[in-house]
Structure 1
Amino acid sequence: MHNNNNDLTLSAPLAGPVLPLRSVPDPVFATGAMGDGIAIDPLNDTLHAPCAGQVLQVARTGHAVTLRADNGAEVLLHLGLDTVGLKGEGFHVLVQEGQRVSAGQPLLRFDLDYVAQHCRSLISLLILTNGDAFDLRPLSLSPVKVGEPLLHLTRRVLDPARPPVTEALGEQASARVKVAHRGGLHARPAALVRQCAAGFASQSHLTFKDKSAPCTSLVALMGLGIGEQDEVQVSCQGADCQAALQALLKTLGTALDTHAHPAPVTAPVIQRPAEDGVLHGVCAAPGLIAGPLLRLDALQLPPDHGQHQPEEQRQALGAALEQVRNDIRQTLEQARQRRDQEEQDIFNAHLALLEDPTLLDAAHATIAQGRAATHAWSAAITEQCQVLQQLDSPLLAERANDLRDLQQRVLRALLGETWHYDLPPGALVAAEELTPSDLLQLSAQGVAGLCMAAGGATSHVAILARGKGLPCLVALGQEILHVDSGRQVVLDADGGRLELAPSPQRLQQVMHAHEARQQRRAVQQQQAREPALTQDGLSIEVAANVACSDEAREAHLGGADGIGLLRTEFLFVDRQHAPDEAEQRQAYQAVLDAMGDKPVIIRTIDVGGDKQLDYLPLPAEANPVLGLRGIRLAQARPELLDQQLRALLQVTPTERCRVMLPMVTEVAELLQIRQRLDALASELGVSQRPELGVMIEVPAAALMAEHLAEHADFLSIGTNDLSQYTLAMDRDHAGLASRVDALHPALLRLIAQTCTGAARHGRWVGVCGALASDPLATPVLIGLGVSELSVSPPQVGEIKDRVRQLDARQCRQLSQALLDLPGAAAVRQACAQHWPLQP
């Protein structure tokens, strides 16, 4: 065999069909956890040496031999799967440890019929166990005869920028778990799995059906095609395998927190009557806008004749990748400053993809053949996009768009092209499929709307478009790409329509509606600092939901009457240890200071369920939303709550600080915390106590509202959780999210019962869930007895304006009848008739 101490060709040790390693029905081998290699389904009864070398090890049960080649490559030859269980029966070893063997020399014989009948599979492995030092290239995937060339090894020049891979030695651990992420294991949850696995020395992999993937490769993980609630096997090997396993089980079994911007559900395909001059699509982000339609074309590569210096091209690709990484890091920092978690998740996944070994190895292998870095990178992405699109999963097919985004960004860096589109403000963009970085650039240039031939309503672009307020239609079909550029069109995303030939009157109507909406928002903002009084003089407090002092400052400037919900989780997440008492006190005081003389409601720590803390390991739960979360976790870990209560007792002035307890289900929980608050106040020598309220977010709390109000100072309804618990529908379930509507009569009955029970003890009731931000719901909530609405800060002016249009007495009279309607749709229709919204 050819061997120059760098290159080595391994010959076939057996005769038979050749299989890629990923096709082996054993997760340890298929994922490369033992190393890279190849498999043969043997037709002969003798295993031969694939090269000259020394016998390092012979398995005690005779089913495997390990050789060390003269260039240092260590090759494991493993006969069959689960053959260790045969305890040597059927095997006859022909060599011994330490022996020098020549290429093609017989190493062991086996009884083909006996082994085939008594083990799981005869498929046999050739594994390079120290593969970090070598590049491996298969020479044949056709059936081979003994001694024919099989694999070519080249000693690798290790990149110091790439961290070494820790060999998976020692203890093993595995378990099964159902994947909780909405839509399955697509880019963002796969990035979380990769990030989790990277924190441990052990090697980890997932197995689903007959395929496996290492947790180090996003592409390989997505390529498994794992759907929501699919059960997978997690396997870890190494010194810290137990800790790694528990962490991965928690990561896979806990859904991403996408509550702030739930993705819309793509409606079933409806056969619409054909309309001349109208293209129908799916609404990815709502809105109505008119403007010139301009086509955006993808970057085209120049021809490549394949005669490049590999080292130069590797360096060029490395530089381009680093440039794109830096750009994404800047985007991430901006998203962190805005506390835009959706955007952070998207671009964290992109960063992980840029380091994905599946992509990088494929690109480097192509470069080694003399191809240009541009074509090597493009080919690597295209191949993986095809893998994802061939899976029976529309969501994973959409995730191929993330790969195409990185393809274009890195190509632009390689070619030195400016990252800018020549589009005027107000343009409506048409494209085959836009990428997240496309959207950010287009939004910065003032583009007014987006139209895509492909894409889906659950894509990352759709999420970003909704966050930017850009109307967006997807799945319009290829016809959109043939529309004349510059044509004036109407994008009616709400109706799923692109009007290609609107009349002058229609264009004028849409433009006037848009201008009126802009003017109304400006007026609302000017009046946002004024009190929200109904026409008959009832005062409604319109507060804001925030997560930090910066957001509180913006809310105060935007006219908020207070903070209706401070989510204190922001202090506890994304760190290695809990904040101490001083840090918490400083953070809470900063929020109070930012709000001037306005009151601030601070919710105690609400983690567990879908919000996990790295430094607070919790057992994996089959249904985390019904598990250890909110006040239950605080009771299980009282030191966390005690520290938080101490910090809250020391902010000033005490009368502006209100404390709210999440996930309360019974009076005993409230009394226990009130007693604890009193005890800590005595310890600190604090005479005043902050008001103590309860969050109504489970049906039990609503049904017990009268009894809770006897001991609480106020009640605040969290309609997001109350909806899913009442309707028994996960608000993050892709097929059910549109039905989790807090205007359902059952929810309205619980809200009414809460307000009635609170009134008997003279307590006020607020709403801090998403329903408070829905202008259609404002009159209903006022009519049922709610006196405080806590909304997203940008909506303070809008909700105050809505309150001023209402008569509270009429709201009370009409709201009671809504409780007897058959469903949420009927309630919404009645609200629109009684209290129509301005167009």
Structure 2
Amino acid sequence: MNNNNLALKAFLSGPVMPLSRVPDPVFSSGAMGDGIAIDPLNDCLYAPCAGVVMHVARTRHAVTLKADNGAELLLHLGLDTVELQGEGFDALVQEGTRITEGQPLLRFDLDKVARGSKSLITVLILTNGEGFQLRPLTTTCVDVGAPLLQLSRTGSAPATAEPAGSGGESRGHVRVALHGGLHARPAALLRKSAQAFSSRAELRFAGRSASVDSLVGIMGLGVGEQDEVEVICRGADSEAALHALLETLATAGAEPTPQPVTPLPVAAPRGAEEPGVLAGVCASPGLASGPLVRLGALHLPDDRGDSQPDEQHRALDQALERVRGDVRATLQQAARQGHADEEAIFTAHLALLEDPGLLDAADLLIDQRVSAAHAWHRAVQTHCGILQSLGNPLLAERANDLRDLEKRVLRVLLGNDGEQAIAAGSLVAAQEITPSDLGPLVRAGVAGLCMAEGGATSHVAILARAKGLPCLVALGPQVLELDEGRVLVLDASNGRLEYAPSAERIAQVAMQREQREQARQQQRARARQAAVTRDGRHIEVGANVANPEEAAEAFAAGADGVGLLRTEFLFLDRQQAPNEEEQQHAYQGVLDAMGESRVIIRTIDVGGDKHLAYLPLPAEENPALGLRGIRLGQALPQLLDQQLRALLRVAPIRRCRVLLPMVSEVDELIAIRQRLDQLAHELGIEERPELGVMIEVPSAALLADQLAEHADFLSIGTNDLSQYTLAMDRCHAGLAARIDALHPALLRLIAQTCAGAARHGRWVGVCGALASEALATPVLIGLGVQELSVSPGLVGEIKARVRELNAEDCRQRSQELLALGSARAVRDACARFWPHA
């Protein structure tokens, strides 16, 4: 049989049109390939030729076939029909099915699909155009089965990199520099890079390939660091897409390593274990003791295999969307609080929840009458098995993320959303503890975590370190055999779980913990006292808060004031902007909660990674470099004016300081000061609040002396200043751990800011995350910082740290740090210069 030339038959009845007339730029531009379209008059899609079904979309609106001559044909029913989530569609074939010409593929409800989508126009696309040619056989109305296209094999392949815009193909090879290879977060990064282009992209490695759209598919290739892969891009912008993906793959550091800390000890070999001790790997250091509690596992009910597919598809879709909503809420909270590690972790989780390979696997099982819960469980377990079989420890740990998502979705499907009651002070044991488990455990006040499996670079390990919760992993199955209620000692710093501790050992641990708690209590007891260095320099220690409730906590914790009130709390998670009265009431509540202390209130900073549903902003290629902070206030002056009027009305106004975010030049500050004066005059207000500038872009630091001439104070936001100085997105899924504000380049900008402010007698504060790090306290004092704004719970600790130091010694030694070459070198020097228990 000669397969070089095939006559493709009409797959629908209706008027025929060229792709150029299809009202969708992705199809009409030819970005996906050459083809043709039909506006259907019937309700069933038929096979244009014999072949094999390669793919059925999980929403059942599209089918991809592979013809016998190797051509790959996408049949996409309607435009924007993916939004219908399968409603109105019935797939009549499954992936891998051998089909004949004219065989029914999809049945659809003409009325429902027409009402729920942009158009019923259905396209046929040749997705692997190299070596093939399509020639229309008719341009009029056709009936199903009539000759439609001539598909010919040309016998030659195109060049590997056609010019962008030609709908061609571009190929390239690259050695993967991403730390740890292509596991979850690097795969999410690669997928995000590809989504900026219309071209379709795939990776090839070791004789296998995967679409860049599929995180699980990418991870399943088992690509390690320094492995060479081939990247293939097909579409109008294939060259640009190829360049971007090659650059992403060649850039080191996509997997965040833990923030620089003392190296964690590795477990001793199993054979070297002491009696009564399980050896593990330290994921988060610390010492704790308490009764053992096993974290309950979910149990699936029996599956009888008689489920109704439509009902189960809906159930899974609803459960997935609910979990996606929870993850998005976690992301928003992490963004508001500046927790970059949490953002990176849950960004990867969100991408996995949208992974087509994973979702299609579950949907295929549901089509076979498997229940939604069992289908989801089996799909996740299959993909976890793939990752664990590759022999890559990092990929095996990333399987834990999939199991976390499995558990979250199953809890919704099974109606088991309740949290297990766990007593405070317990040591929790589990096969693996997932990021979604951790929040309830922290709230319950558990003393430590013990895992049979897991790794020191797992996501839950990163989060446990951030929470200061001792955690051991890789303890082996023995930990799950220990009796509940038995009192154990978890010496995570030394990789030991002592399951038969003596009474003396338990008492010793209790004493050590009591000593640490006494130190914290002493810090809290003295937290209301001023923070003064040993040579008499006063450092104000304020708190970063987001609402009146947090302000009250900060005041009770001894904060000298509010160093940063993030006013976004008023604007986020609502359907309309707060009016002037609501804003004034909220700001007044913060002032009232702080007694006689001063409060710094930052004007709204949205845009970038924070979005308002009622304030649609234009899509930006680089949001962090776009319309955000004071730039948004300039673009929407009515929004800023309303906020400034509310701030002018608080009392007493002398206790209110206004802080402007994202200022990059002096004229911006002058314009806002003039506007503040004008609004105060209109309101009949004589007194003015102090007006300060956030130093969070390098230009502001370099212009600090000029800004200080017109500002009352400067406040350094080390989080944004780090990302803009180091050219690393702090919300990037793979670079969070490399954005270290103790980088000598940052320290030089801080020093220049303090020097510029001093020329005009202005004070400088730090409100970024660096202020909360005790290791950095002597550095900041030495560079000239006079105010530190920290998390409310750290006020006592940072004040105690200040009292240990000599400011002149800090000044002299800090100058030495400016000459170092890396953040790691700075941290090592700090540990030597200013040891801290």
Letter in 2 for 1:670: L
| C-alpha displacement of 1:607 | 3.1
Of residues 494-503 and 348-357 in structure 1, the stretch that sits farther from structure 2 once superposed is 348-357
Asked if structure 2 preserves the Cα contact closer than 8 Å seen for 1:133 and 1:156, the reply is yes
Residue in structure 1 matched with residue 519 of structure 2 by the alignment: 520
| C-alpha displacement of 1:715 | 1.7
Of residues 328-337 and 372-381 in structure 1, the stretch that sits farther from structure 2 once superposed is 328-337
| C-alpha displacement of 1:477 | 6.5
Letter in 1 for 2:377: S
Written as runs of structure 1 = structure 2, the 5 A alignment for 1:262-301 is: 264=259, 274=269, 276-277=273-274, 284-291=283-290, 296=295, 298-299=297-298, 301=300
Separation in structure 1 between the aligned mates of residue 504 and residue 564 of structure 2, nearest angstrom: 46
Residue in structure 1 matched with residue 621 of structure 2 by the alignment: 621
Pick aligned residue for 1:122 from 50, 71, 78: 71
Residue in structure 2 matched with residue 34 of structure 1 by the alignment: none
Separation in structure 2 between the aligned mates of residue 681 and residue 291 of structure 1, nearest angstrom: 59
Asked if structure 2 preserves the Cα contact closer than 8 Å seen for 1:779 and 1:806, the reply is yes
Letter in 1 for 2:597: K
Instruction: Say if 1:335 and 1:287 are closer, same or farther in 2 by CA, change over 3 A.
Output: farther
Separation in structure 2 between the aligned mates of residue 392 and residue 66 of structure 1, nearest angstrom: 49
Written as runs of structure 1 = structure 2, the 5 A alignment for 1:576-725 is: 576-614=575-613, 615-622=615-622, 624-725=623-724
- Structure 2, unaligned runs of 5 or more: 20-33, 52-66, 126-164, 170-177, 204-208, 237-243, 249-255
Q: What are the superposed Cα offsets for residues 525-553 of structure 1, whole Å, 9 maximum, x if unpaired?
A: 23323333334544322111112222222
| C-alpha displacement of 1:562 | 0.9
Letter in 2 for 1:209: E
Instruction: Say if 1:651 and 1:414 are closer, same or farther in 2 by CA, change over 3 A.
Output: closer
Instruction: Say if 1:352 and 1:757 are closer, same or farther in 2 by CA, change over 3 A.
Output: closer
Written as runs of structure 1 = structure 2, the 5 A alignment for 1:462-473 is: 462=461, 465-466=464-465, 468-473=467-472
Q: What are the superposed Cα offsets for residues 420-469 of structure 1, whole Å, 9 maximum, x if unpaired?
A: 65866544334332234433454455432223354456755446545654
SS of 1:310's partner is coil
Asked if structure 2 preserves the Cα contact closer than 8 Å seen for 1:206 and 1:214, the reply is no
Instruction: Say if 1:59 and 1:717 are closer, same or farther in 2 by CA, change over 3 A.
Output: closer
Residue in structure 2 matched with residue 557 of structure 1 by the alignment: 556
| C-alpha displacement of 1:326 | 8.4
Instruction: Say if 1:225 and 1:670 are closer, same or farther in 2 by CA, change over 3 A.
Output: farther
SS of 2:644's partner is helix
Separation in structure 1 between the aligned mates of residue 565 and residue 265 of structure 2, nearest angstrom: 43
Superposed CA RMSD in Å reads 5.8
Of residues 672-681 and 393-402 in structure 1, the stretch that sits farther from structure 2 once superposed is 393-402
Pick aligned residue for 1:133 from 88, 93, 96: 88
Separation in structure 1 between the aligned mates of residue 94 and residue 816 of structure 2, nearest angstrom: 76
SS of 1:209's partner is strand
SS of 1:618's partner is coil
| C-alpha displacement of 1:682 | 2.5
Instruction: Say if 1:544 and 1:413 are closer, same or farther in 2 by CA, change over 3 A.
Output: closer
| C-alpha displacement of 1:707 | 2.9
Instruction: Say if 1:799 and 1:60 are closer, same or farther in 2 by CA, change over 3 A.
Output: closer
SS of 1:752's partner is helix
Separation in structure 1 between the aligned mates of residue 819 and residue 373 of structure 2, nearest angstrom: 64
Written as runs of structure 1 = structure 2, the 5 A alignment for 1:98-109 is: none
Q: What are the superposed Cα offsets for residues 586-643 of structure 1, whole Å, 9 maximum, x if unpaired?
A: 3322222222221111122333333344524235234x44444433443444443333
Separation in structure 2 between the aligned mates of residue 613 and residue 627 of structure 1, nearest angstrom: 15
Asked if structure 1 preserves the Cα contact closer than 8 Å seen for 2:715 and 2:767, the reply is yes
Q: What are the superposed Cα offsets for residues 500-540 of structure 1, whole Å, 9 maximum, x if unpaired?
A: 78888776554433222222223322332333333454432
| C-alpha displacement of 1:166 | 6.0
Instruction: Say if 1:423 and 1:320 are closer, same or farther in 2 by CA, change over 3 A.
Output: farther
Instruction: Say if 1:396 and 1:598 are closer, same or farther in 2 by CA, change over 3 A.
Output: farther
Asked if structure 2 preserves the Cα contact closer than 8 Å seen for 1:205 and 1:214, the reply is no
| C-alpha displacement of 1:657 | 0.9
Asked if structure 1 preserves the Cα contact closer than 8 Å seen for 2:77 and 2:120, the reply is no
Instruction: Say if 1:630 and 1:341 are closer, same or farther in 2 by CA, change over 3 A.
Output: closer
Separation in structure 2 between the aligned mates of residue 383 and residue 407 of structure 1, nearest angstrom: 12
SS of 1:664's partner is coil
Asked if structure 2 preserves the Cα contact closer than 8 Å seen for 1:64 and 1:78, the reply is no
| C-alpha displacement of 1:791 | 0.6
Separation in structure 2 between the aligned mates of residue 778 and residue 63 of structure 1, nearest angstrom: 64
Letter in 2 for 1:138: V
SS of 1:45's partner is strand
Separation in structure 2 between the aligned mates of residue 384 and residue 640 of structure 1, nearest angstrom: 48
SS of 1:542's partner is strand
Asked if structure 2 preserves the Cα contact closer than 8 Å seen for 1:755 and 1:765, the reply is yes
Separation in structure 1 between the aligned mates of residue 112 and residue 366 of structure 2, nearest angstrom: 15
Instruction: Say if 1:460 and 1:573 are closer, same or farther in 2 by CA, change over 3 A.
Output: farther
| C-alpha displacement of 1:714 | 1.3
How many residue pairs match? The answer is 713
Separation in structure 2 between the aligned mates of residue 369 and residue 821 of structure 1, nearest angstrom: 63
Of residues 332-341 and 563-572 in structure 1, the stretch that sits farther from structure 2 once superposed is 332-341
Asked if structure 1 preserves the Cα contact closer than 8 Å seen for 2:544 and 2:767, the reply is yes
Instruction: Say if 1:687 and 1:164 are closer, same or farther in 2 by CA, change over 3 A.
Output: same
Letter in 2 for 1:55: S
| C-alpha displacement of 1:488 | 6.6
| C-alpha displacement of 1:790 | 0.7
Asked if structure 1 preserves the Cα contact closer than 8 Å seen for 2:222 and 2:390, the reply is yes
| C-alpha displacement of 1:566 | 1.3
Residue in structure 2 matched with residue 546 of structure 1 by the alignment: 545
Instruction: Say if 1:283 and 1:676 are closer, same or farther in 2 by CA, change over 3 A.
Output: farther
SS of 2:687's partner is coil
Residue in structure 2 matched with residue 45 of structure 1 by the alignment: 6
- Structure 1, unaligned runs of 5 or more: 1-14, 17-41, 81-109, 198-203, 237-248, 254-260
Letter in 2 for 1:559: G
Asked if structure 1 preserves the Cα contact closer than 8 Å seen for 2:283 and 2:456, the reply is yes
Residue in structure 1 matched with residue 751 of structure 2 by the alignment: 752
**Is 1:780 aligned to residue 812 of structure 2?**
no
| C-alpha displacement of 1:156 | 8.9
Q: What are the superposed Cα offsets for residues 637-656 of structure 1, whole Å, 9 maximum, x if unpaired?
A: 44433333233222222111
Separation in structure 2 between the aligned mates of residue 227 and residue 691 of structure 1, nearest angstrom: 54
Letter in 2 for 1:545: N
**Is 1:310 aligned to residue 307 of structure 2?**
yes
Letter in 2 for 1:682: H
Letter in 2 for 1:135: D
Q: What are the superposed Cα offsets for residues 131-153 of structure 1, whole Å, 9 maximum, x if unpaired?
A: 74343143673655657xx6676
Separation in structure 2 between the aligned mates of residue 334 and residue 608 of structure 1, nearest angstrom: 18
| C-alpha displacement of 1:310 | 3.0
Instruction: Say if 1:385 and 1:735 are closer, same or farther in 2 by CA, change over 3 A.
Output: closer
Q: What are the superposed Cα offsets for residues 726-754 of structure 1, whole Å, 9 maximum, x if unpaired?
A: 44555455665445433344444433333
Residue in structure 2 matched with residue 55 of structure 1 by the alignment: 13
Residue in structure 2 matched with residue 208 of structure 1 by the alignment: 201
Asked if structure 2 preserves the Cα contact closer than 8 Å seen for 1:722 and 1:747, the reply is yes
SS of 1:541's partner is strand
Instruction: Say if 1:826 and 1:503 are closer, same or farther in 2 by CA, change over 3 A.
Output: farther
Separation in structure 2 between the aligned mates of residue 821 and residue 124 of structure 1, nearest angstrom: 58
Asked if structure 1 preserves the Cα contact closer than 8 Å seen for 2:489 and 2:501, the reply is yes
Separation in structure 1 between the aligned mates of residue 41 and residue 503 of structure 2, nearest angstrom: 79
| C-alpha displacement of 1:316 | 8.9
Residue in structure 2 matched with residue 742 of structure 1 by the alignment: 741
Instruction: Say if 1:492 and 1:819 are closer, same or farther in 2 by CA, change over 3 A.
Output: farther
| TM, length-normalised to structure 1 | 0.67
Separation in structure 1 between the aligned mates of residue 110 and residue 488 of structure 2, nearest angstrom: 56
SS of 2:13's partner is strand
Letter in 1 for 2:71: L
**Is 1:434 aligned to residue 421 of structure 2?**
no
Asked if structure 1 preserves the Cα contact closer than 8 Å seen for 2:324 and 2:350, the reply is yes
Of residues 665-674 and 549-558 in structure 1, the stretch that sits farther from structure 2 once superposed is 665-674
SS of 2:288's partner is strand
| C-alpha displacement of 1:337 | 9.9
Asked if structure 1 preserves the Cα contact closer than 8 Å seen for 2:13 and 2:41, the reply is no
Separation in structure 2 between the aligned mates of residue 357 and residue 820 of structure 1, nearest angstrom: 49
Q: What are the superposed Cα offsets for residues 84-120 of structure 1, whole Å, 9 maximum, x if unpaired?
A: xxxxxxxxxxxxxxxxxxxxxxxxxx9x9xxx8xxxx
| TM, length-normalised to structure 2 | 0.67
| C-alpha displacement of 1:713 | 1.1
Asked if structure 2 preserves the Cα contact closer than 8 Å seen for 1:602 and 1:659, the reply is yes
User: What is the percentage of aligned positions where both structures have the same residue?
Assistant: 55
